[in-house]
Amino acid sequence: MGNILLLEDDKSLNRGISFKLKKEGYNVCTAFNIKEAKDVFENNKVDLIISDVGLPDGSGFDFCEEIRKISNVHIIMLTALDQEIDIVAGYDIGADDYITKPFSLIVLISKVNAFMRRIGNTIIENIIFCDKLKFDYVENKLTKDKEEILLSKNEGKLLKYLMENSSQTVTKEKLMEALWDIDGNFVDENTLAVNIRRLRQKVEDNPSEPEYIKNIRGVGYTFAKRCIKK
């Protein structure tokens, strides 16, 4: 039904909210501080974040602001602060909703369900995983062993096509079509070969003996390992 990151340092409240959400059918990843929450967010597909404000290693507002710079994921803030200025501050930094403590779990679940219904038809599975590689093709962002690697636009197009067709032989013609410039500029085999070489330099541990992007002599290339889209 959806993947939720719950950031709440009160262990009892964390367990209670998590239990209710799981009963509703959601997948819940729990965190008790900002560091744990960042690790969960970086390594999992998250559709909704529920975050406390007062946390042992910082402010939930700061966490929300940091996440909002890199993602449009929905965020619900939980806090004991009920001053109007605090609520406005939460919205200003990008929170989608705000619940003050103490609150009813039924109300929280209702809000979560409403969010999930709203985004249910618009969630895009735009991240492809393979071993230590994580590629967000919407953001054109490749991560290898948690280290971000810069890709050109053409390198991103090429990697997306290869990973989406992993374990299959892709002809040079198909790859040149994938690289075809939006303005109709011609793409030849030399351009393809250059982009393959540059991509191997970034993806492979040993480009001279590639384990991912392999040449199929006389035909094209294959991304040799199976990829999963999330």
Query: What would the pLDDT profile of 144-178 be if each residue is shown by its tens digit?
Result: 998 999 998 889 989 999 999 999 999 998 888 87
> In this structure, are residues 193 and 187 in contact, taking their beta carbons and an 8 Å threshold?
no
Residue 205 above 70 pLDDT? yes
> In this structure, are residues 141 and 148 in contact, taking their beta carbons and an 8 Å threshold?
yes
Query: What would the pLDDT profile of 32-72 be if each residue is shown by its tens digit?
Result: 999 999 999 988 889 999 999 989 999 999 999 999 888 88
Closest CA to 201 of 150, 145, 140: 150
- Domains, the chain, with CATH or none: 3-119 (3.40.50.2300), 127-229 (1.10.10.10)
Q: Band the pLDDT of 122: cuts 50, 70, 90.
A: very low
What's the CA gap between 83 and 53, in Å, rounded?
13
Strand blocks (E) in the chain: 3-7, 27-31, 48-52, 54-55, 58-59, 74-79, 97-100, 127-130, 133-136, 141-144, 147-149, 169-171, 213-216, 220-223, 228-229
CA torsion sign for 107, 113, 119, 125 is: positive
Query: What would the pLDDT profile of 74-86 be if each residue is shown by its tens digit?
Result: 899 988 776 677 7
- What proportion of the chain, given as a percentage, has pLDDT over 70? 92
What's the CA gap between 157 and 160, in Å, rounded?
5
Q: b vs e for 128-157, b when ≥16 Cβ sit within 10 Å of the residue's Cβ?
A: bbbeebbbebeebbbbbeeeebebeebbbb
Neighbouring CB atoms inside 10 A of 212's CB total: 21
Q: Band the pLDDT of 123: cuts 50, 70, 90.
A: very low
Residues 6 or more apart from 192 whose CB is under 8 A from it?
158, 172, 175, 176, 179
94 token code pair: 């990008």
> In this structure, are residues 210 and 111 in contact, taking their beta carbons and an 8 Å threshold?
no
What's the CA gap between 19 and 205, in Å, rounded?
42
Residue 24 above 50 pLDDT? yes
What's the CA gap between 43 and 178, in Å, rounded?
28
How big is the chain by its Cα radius of gyration, in Å? 22
What's the CA gap between 38 and 41, in Å, rounded?
5
